[in-house]
Amino acid sequence: MHHNHSQFPGRHNSVAGEEAELPAAILARLGIHQGLSHDLLESLPFSSHDTTAGSETELQAVVAGWRHDVDLPLVIEQSNYYANILKRAAAGETPRRLAGDLERFISDNRERVWENSWVRFPRRVLSPYAGRVFDADLLADKGNPGGGRRSDAPRFIFHDNEGEEYLRVPISYLIKLALADLLGSQHDLPGAVQLTGRRLMNHYLNDNTSPETFSFYVVPLRPETGMGREIARETAKRFLVTQLLVMYANESFELTARGQRAMIYFAPHPPLRQKELNDIVSDAFYRELFMSPCLSGWQKGEEKYRYMQLCHQVLSRSQLNGVAKLREAGIITNNLVVLPSVSNVSLANNGTHLSLGSRILSRALKDEASGFNATHEKHLGDLTIKMVEHFLPLFVGTYSAAPYRLGYTDFHPERALGFLAHELDYTHLRMIWRRWKKKASLSVFGRPLTPFGPKWLDRMLSGMFALKGDFVPDFRLVDYLVCLLSTDQSPALDGTPGNTDRLRKDLADLGVFDSQMSVYLLYKLRESATMGFSGFEGRHYSQFADLEEDLGRAADLQTLLNALAFKYMADGRLNHALIPDDPTVESERRQIFFGAAVGIPTFYVHRQSNNHFLKRILARTRNIRQSRRYPNYLRVQNLEYRRALILLLQEDAADLIESLRLGETIRDLQARIEAPDECSTMGKLTSGILAEAGAAGPMAMGAGDFNRAAERYYRETLRRRHMEEAFHFLEEDFRRLDRHRSNTELPGVAALRVTARDQSTSDFLKLVKRDVLNESASLETLRKLTNLVLLSIYHDRADADALLEESLPNENHSAPVYRAG
């Protein structure tokens, strides 16, 4: 792909020229004018009292136990698929290796951990209320009880040899059922606890493969309450409630007694054993085992389940089509390729989506007299996204990461490059691949040597020439389709209504995507007409080491960038003409983001790039030089680029940093950039994994050993650390509850007295904390602690609502719900 910008359709530049002042004119409708005074600064969207937040977290679920007790190996062994494989292998119709691989997967599991397995337990353990919840969720249409059950209802019910009825459900649904049972098994629960618990059941759902939760309430981000710390606090407490419910289910539903220990935690990558299984079963059987049945969170769950199957089929097809693109790009130069499986495992990747809403924008869109409408929202929203994408390298590895080791045998381009062929143009794709091979030292006697294909040969070459592969800071961003490149005819972010619909059709015609699916973007507009609030969703977060420090600070920076975009627009310094809408310009800025994920130290920008906003950043970037390899390109160091981004923030957002009280966040960001091994999320996670493995460095151990150590670290050590962090927030909350328990006029105090009885909540927390962290707490302890946490969440929501009411008394703040669309 050439960088001759005269070839791109002229309509982009001409229209952009006519619209150069339009963003400022649109903002003038909201009373925001050029030359902001301090008072007008506070009128900007995402200013100090305007931002609301919510997060959606995807979690890893496992069941620990022997093969004869756990659902996943039992389902495989009892399946028609397995029986047919054995029969065909015995008849010589299929390789015996296939049956042997499947048997080894079941029998050779030394850690006895089965990722994304379901659980099974007797129905009699459920309280009547939990039983009614289960029956309601089996309806084909939850809004029509007379319409009967889902056609796949028998999947979730079976009878043992004695005729006793059993349920089998994914852990994502187990959590909701545990909450329903906890509420239904206590007859003296205060109304505040009961109502809060019933409301929270709707916040536990399952999408794709992994369990998901989304924020229990809309979180105001304000300087006086710590800005991003508040969304970190809500997320940590939600994580702890989830842990308590899984522990409750293990005991109350007799899972532990029946050899099943359910667990749930943050982990960014598809499990290694799930990848292995994916390589030896059909795509249809993989979907049967791992695609979410969508029992919870959807009006018509079976329809959503079919959509999940569609997503898997589409991404699997896209992966195969990516091989052809790599051939067209000249990266695959011969017919020696390792074809990807027809089943893709990338939907088992897990991340966090952080949504920030603007109450100023949301209120104006609900007010027909404001003169601000959905067309304006789209115009400004797309422009904000384009600007923010230039700053996303500040987040990668810095606030979230997904450390991963690739062995030499993993460096087939059709495997290592993942979905990048659909996310970057060929020029930037070739540049990244060349630099990645150099970083990974894939050369022998000065010549690059990538794997040939046969595993025995690749392993021999790896040992003979000490080819170890590479260590990648955030492999999730490479291994998953996180965004889609626009086509020449259908730009995704040109500010025009319906542009993503047009792009979906183009991509569907090309076999890359499906028109029924929502377009994937790194940073996504949350439109008021669809979501009930106007704002933006950051979808680039992988794994956090610390919720308060990592997620909280990331929310600070995301808020600052949104506010800066609107300040630029109000000042007339940002419009669509500055960031043209063509695939090359889009790829040019995103290559920096993906290069940071891979850990490549440099990138290249065309000397005649017409991305004027990028040029504004490069004007502050040091040590840029002319590329010797690419004559028309400038060679830019990723570290210097990120330093320039911080400098730009300090220059252009100084007033915002002051009003949002984010000075410490900027200092913390600088420390993460300058000392990544000690201060960044990538450094913290990697240190924890190495401590788990007892190794000196990622390259001092094999790829499989490092990645298995990472899975153990996430499952045990980091899960406990996140629980401890939540306990820290709870200690603050419980001290506050104890101070107010004598004031009978405050809402929730009566509930506190009933729930805590005569005991101080702080003293109770100290008494039970160790048992909860060790997973040895009694059912009575788990019930009481969960009740108290639900009561604290009741107070959290009341406090949040009061803040929202206090700032904008005429605003309807009941609409925002932060979850994936």
- In contact, 620 and 655? CB cutoff 8 Å: no
Per-residue pLDDT, averaged over 113-129, amounts to 97
Is residue 606 helix, strand or coil? strand
For residues 35 and 181, state if they share a domain: no
In-domain check, residue 477:
yes
State which of 684, 715, 746 marks the end of a domain: 715
- Within-domain flag for 720: yes
Confidence of residue 30 (pLDDT cuts 50, 70, 90): confident
pLDDT at 1: 36
Residue 271 in any domain: the answer is no
Question: Which pLDDT value is given to residue 39?
Answer: 66
Of 104 and 467, the structure prediction assigns the larger pLDDT to 104
**Contact by Cβ (8 Å): 557, 669:** yes
| 705 shares a domain with 720 | no
> In this model, does residue 4 exceed pLDDT 50?
no
600 vs 443, more confident: 600
**DSSP class per residue in 476-487:** HHHHS----PPP
Domains contained in the chain, number? 2
189 and 326 together in one domain: no
Whether residue 45 is found in the same domain as residue 64: no
Q: Is residue 209 part of a domain?
A: yes
Q: 592 with 641: CB under 8 angstroms?
A: yes
* Mean pLDDT for the stretch of residues 554-580: 95
**Residue 238 pLDDT class (50, 70, 90 cuts):** very high
User: Residue 445: left (phi > 0), alpha (psi -120 to 50), or beta?
Assistant: left
pLDDT value at residue 384: 98
Interacting residues of 250 by C-beta distance below 8 A, sequence separation 6+ = 256, 260, 261, 262, 775
Distance CA 713, CA 719 (A): 8
Going by the DSSP 8-state scheme, the letter that residue 405 receives in this structure is: E
Please determine, for residue 818, whether its predicted confidence score (pLDDT) is greater than 80.
Answer: no
Asked if residue 154 and residue 228 are part of one domain, the reply reads yes
Kindly report the average pLDDT of the chain as a whole number: 89
Q: How far apart are alpha carbons 490 and 519 in whole angstroms?
A: 12
If asked whether residues 737 and 759 sit together in one domain, one would say: yes
Do 250 and 324 lie in one domain? The reply is: no
CA–CA dist 637, 623 (Å, integer): 7
C-alpha distance from residue 336 to each of 321, 342, 450, 464, 699 (Å):
16, 18, 11, 21, 27
Residue 579 is given by DSSP the state S
SS3 labels along 39-98: HHHCCCCCCCCCEEEEEEEECEEEEECCCCCCHHHHHHHCCHHHHHHHHHHHCCCCCHHH
- Which among 753, 756, 778 has a CA at the least distance from the CA of 765? 756
Eight-class DSSP state of 547? I
Q: Tell me the mean pLDDT in the region 431-457.
A: 81
Q: Buried (b) or exposed (e) across 95-107, using 16+ Cβ within 10 A?
A: eeeebebbeebbe
Q: Give, to the nearest 10 degrees, the angle between helix 749-756 and helix 719-740.
A: 120
Beta strands in 200-312 (DSSP E): 204-206, 211-214, 219-220, 261-265
pLDDT band at residue 9 under the 50/70/90 scheme: very low
Whether 17 has a pLDDT exceeding 80, the answer reads no
Alpha-helical segments (H) within 465-514: 476-479, 499-509
How confident is the model over 284-300, as a mean pLDDT? 91
Matching residue, tokens 């309601």: 136
What is the Cα 299 distance to its own chain's centre?
Answer: 23
Domain around 649? 23-58+320-599+639-715
704, 742: one domain: no
pLDDT digits (tens, 9 = 90+) for 347-397: 899 999 999 999 999 999 999 888 899 999 999 999 999 999 999 999 999
On whether residue 205 sits in a domain, the answer given is yes
Map residue 314 onto helix, strand or coil: helix
Which ranges constitute the DSSP H helices of 367-488? 374-391, 413-416, 426-439, 455-464, 476-479
Three-state DSSP string of 574-640: CCHHHCCCCHHHHHHHHHHHHHHHHCCCEEEEECCCCCHHHHHHHCCCCCCEECCCCCCEEEEEHHH
For 722-758, how does the pLDDT look when each residue is reduced to its tens digit (9 = 90+)? 999 999 999 999 888 888 766 655 556 666 656 666 6
How many residues comprise the chain?
A: 821
CA distance 215 to 804: 16
Contact predicate 576/754, CB 8 Å:
no
Between the alpha carbon of residue 608 and those of residues 370, 412, 611, 612, the distances in Å are 41, 33, 9, 10
Q: Which of 680, 699, 715 delimits the end of a domain?
A: 715
Amino acid at 770: R
Average pLDDT over residues 233-249: 98
Q: Is the Cβ–Cβ distance between 618 and 625 less than 8 Å?
A: no
Q: For position 29, what pLDDT does the model report?
A: 86
Q: Which of 242-246, 368-372, 466-470, 611-615 has the lowest mean pLDDT?
A: 466-470
What is the β-pairing status of strands 60-64 and 261-265? antiparallel
Confidence of residue 11 (pLDDT cuts 50, 70, 90): very low
- Among 715, 737, 768, the domain-final residue is 715
Closest Cα to residue 792, out of 192, 99, 154, 95? 192
- 379 and 474 part of one domain: yes
pLDDT score recorded for residue 255: 98
Q: For residue 613, is it within any domain?
A: no
- Read off φ and ψ for residue 285, nearest 5 degrees: -70, -35
Report if residue 196 sits inside a domain. yes
633 in Cβ contact with 615 (< 8 Å): no
| CA nearest to 222, candidates 233, 230, 211 | 230
pLDDT at 742: 62
Torsion of CA 319, 320, 325, 327, to 10 degrees: 130
Q: What is d(CA 676, CA 687) in angstroms, rounded to the nearest whole number?
A: 11
What are the beta bridge partners of residue 578? none
Quick one: pLDDT at residue 21?
A: 46
Specify burial of residue 736 (Cβ count, 10 A radius: 0-12, 13-18, 19+). middle
| Helix (H) / strand (E) containing 535 | strand 535-541
- Name residue 115's beta-bridge partners: 62
Tell whether 741 and 679 lie within a shared domain.
no
Residue 771: partners with Cβ closer than 8 Å, 6 or more residues away? 777, 778, 781
Same-domain pairing of 481 and 561 = yes
Residue 112 is given by DSSP the state: -
Residue 486 has pLDDT above 60, yes or no: yes
Amino acid at 7: Q
Query: Average pLDDT, stretch 576-595?
Result: 96
Q: Is residue 15 part of a domain?
A: no
Task: Report helix angle 638-652 to 583-598, nearest 10.
Answer: 110
Question: What pTM does this model have?
Answer: 0.92
Q: Are 198 and 133 in contact (CB under 8 A)?
A: no
What pLDDT does residue 600 have? 97
491 and 522 housed in the same domain: yes
Q: Tell me what pLDDT residue 34 has.
A: 67
**pLDDT class of 552 with cuts at 50, 70, 90:** very high
Distances in Å between the Cα of 168 and the Cα atoms of 155, 463, 743 are 8, 46, 46
Q: 541 pLDDT exceeds 80?
A: yes
Query: In the numeric block, which tokens belong to residue 758?
Result: 């005569």
Secondary-structure percent of the chain, ordered helix, strand, coil, rounded to 5? 55, 10, 35
Strands 443-444 and 113-115: unpaired
